[in-house]
Homo-oligomer: A and B are copies of this chain.
Amino acid sequence: MNAIPTLLNRKPLPESLLLALGQLLGTRLSTSASVREHHGSDISSLGPVPPDAVAFVESLEEIISVSSLCHAHDVPMIPYGSGTSLEGWLQAVQGGVCIDVSGMNQIIQIRPDDMDVTVQPGVTRKQLNAALHGTGLFFPIDPGADASLGGMASTRASGTNAVRYGTMRENVLGMTAVLADGRVIQTGGRARKSSAGYDLTHLLVGSGGTLATFAELTVKLHPLPEAVSAAICTFPSVDHAVQAVIQTIQLGVPIARIELIDALTVRAINAYSKTSLREAPSLFFELHGSESGVKEQIETVRLVADEHGGQDFEWAVNPEDRTRLWQARHDAYFASVALRPGCRSLTTDSVVPISRLAECIEATAADLEENGLLAPIFGHVGDGNFHALILVDPDNADEVARAEAVAHRLAERAIAYEGSCTGEHGIGLTKRDYMAVEHGQNAVDVMRSIKHALDPKGLMNPGKIFG
């Protein structure tokens, strides 16, 4: 929907580069229109901007060779994992070569004693968890889509489990990455901590392909909980629900997931999934621990919910009942979109300190209503992160403009509340104008100087993060 600022005088790829890439990759170099179009788009509502070619690499050595060749020819490079990012991370606004690492999907080594694993960047989170079967360990980060770990590191992804297990920021221990000029760096390591020099791992996590192409990642694993239980509860208002969450966390209950859905989302779910949940702001809990620990957590959660006007408290221990309870939350996205057939959704991604969350959601809901927009709201309330799915008719320019204006005010509101315009999707193309608002011009200048230090020609995923 947004206009994508592409380079006007895109030059075609130099013949000598195409020749060299073809010699290197054979049929794994593609310039077909459909492959390029597919690789020039993400799952946002932005249209595709195809790269000039797609290189399906299969090894570190191939990433090095492709990078060195593109660097020698001053041609942009865009790393590509599973294509499930949002915010325009993959659109080739200055053309260039898309480096598709999805074929690098080997799990290199699982180390149960150290609770870590080294993977190639194309390994997806579901693939990894399947491979961990029988080890007693799991990889908790769950952004919804079955994203690649390289891509998740790239956008600093998180999702529903982050309140307990952290985001990619906390879970990537180290990386092998290829710089624009083909130099390989190793960052971090396998020790759980280190004070040796600058933290390049955290610099790369969240850099969205603008600093390097990730070739290998070592991530933390976590013990599978002995027991899991789930609970849901409705509240008189978003504020009541949020206050219950704040108190639960302050009591030290190690909640694994705590999700808020608003009344409109419940209505959408009831229509979509033929349920009859009370149409009120609701919290979905998932609790991990020992058998007795989880029971105790449930009791605490229930007491806290009661204190804050919670109703319809329901909890479940066995897997079928838990799945049934959480099905509503899992259905939230598709149920929301189904509220308005033919619509497209403009998804927001604000995060604020939890003390400001209710205020931020309520102000946003009021803004949406004033502008006659339909937008279910749900999110990762333990982190202060929520998404409004603004449902718009893509052919109604006025409505699209109103939706974008609400999303704009929401991003600025989140920043004004000492939060961020993006909790887990990243800046990409669409949020570049907020960088200086959120960080201040000096910090953005410092980021740019780091970008320039690592990629002086500006070839890595150009046009992203910085305006």
Residues of A within 8 A of B (CB): 111-116, 136-137, 155-158, 162, 166-167, 169-170, 179, 183-187, 189-200, 202-203, 205-207, 211, 222-226, 246, 249-252, 254, 289-290, 292-293, 296, 349, 351-355, 383-385, 414, 418-427, 431, 434-435, 438-440, 442-447, 449-454, 465
Closest-CB distance, A231 to chain B (whole angstroms): 17
A198-B250 contact, Cβ under 8 Å, with A114-B353, A383-B193: no
Closest-CB distance, A249 to chain B (whole angstroms): 7
Contact, CB under 8 Å: B251 / A254: no
Shortest 6 CB-CB distances between A and B: which pairs?
Answer: A202-B202, A194-B420, A113-B355, A223-B252, A449-B453, A195-B426
Contact, CB under 8 Å: A199 / B196: no
User: Max chain B CB contacts within 10 Å: which of A116, A202, A254?
Assistant: A202
Query: A136 to chain B: which residues have CB within 8 Å?
Result: 250
Query: A246 to chain B: which residues have CB within 8 Å?
Result: 113
Query: A116 to chain B: which residues have CB within 8 Å?
Result: 353
Closest-CB distance, A206 to chain B (whole angstroms): 6
Query: A351 to chain B: which residues have CB within 8 Å?
Result: 191-194
A420-B454 contact, Cβ under 8 Å, with A185-B442, A252-B226: no
Closest-CB distance, A370 to chain B (whole angstroms): 26
| Chain B residue, CB-CB nearest to A446 | B185
CA distance A206 to B383 in the complex (A): 25
Contact, CB under 8 Å: B252 / A254: no
Query: A440 to chain B: which residues have CB within 8 Å?
Result: 185-186
Query: A450 to chain B: which residues have CB within 8 Å?
Result: 198, 203, 450, 453-454
Contact, CB under 8 Å: A196 / B353: no
10 A-B residue pairings within 8 Å (CB atoms): A189-B419, A191-B383, A191-B419, A195-B349, A195-B425, A196-B421, A196-B434, A197-B427, A252-B289, A450-B450
With A137-B250, A449-B453 given, can you name 11 additional A-B contacts, CB distance below 8 Å? Answer: A169-B202, A190-B419, A191-B383, A195-B206, A196-B421, A197-B438, A197-B447, A198-B450, A203-B450, A252-B290, A292-B292
User: Max chain B CB contacts within 10 Å: which of A184, A200, A414, A465?
Assistant: A200
CA distance A352 to B442 in the complex (A): 37
Contact, CB under 8 Å: A187 / B443: yes
| Chain B residue, CB-CB nearest to A223 | B252
Query: A254 to chain B: which residues have CB within 8 Å?
Result: 254
CA distance A196 to B453 in the complex (A): 20
Query: A195 to chain B: which residues have CB within 8 Å?
Result: 155-157, 206, 349, 420, 422-427
CA distance A259 to B47 in the complex (A): 55
Closest-CB distance, A290 to chain B (whole angstroms): 6
Query: A434 to chain B: which residues have CB within 8 Å?
Result: 196
Query: A223 to chain B: which residues have CB within 8 Å?
Result: 249-252
User: Max chain B CB contacts within 10 Å: which of A289, A293, A349, A452?
Assistant: A293
Query: A211 to chain B: which residues have CB within 8 Å?
Result: 198
Query: A114 to chain B: which residues have CB within 8 Å?
Result: 353-355
User: Max chain B CB contacts within 10 Å: which of A203, A211, A451?
Assistant: A203
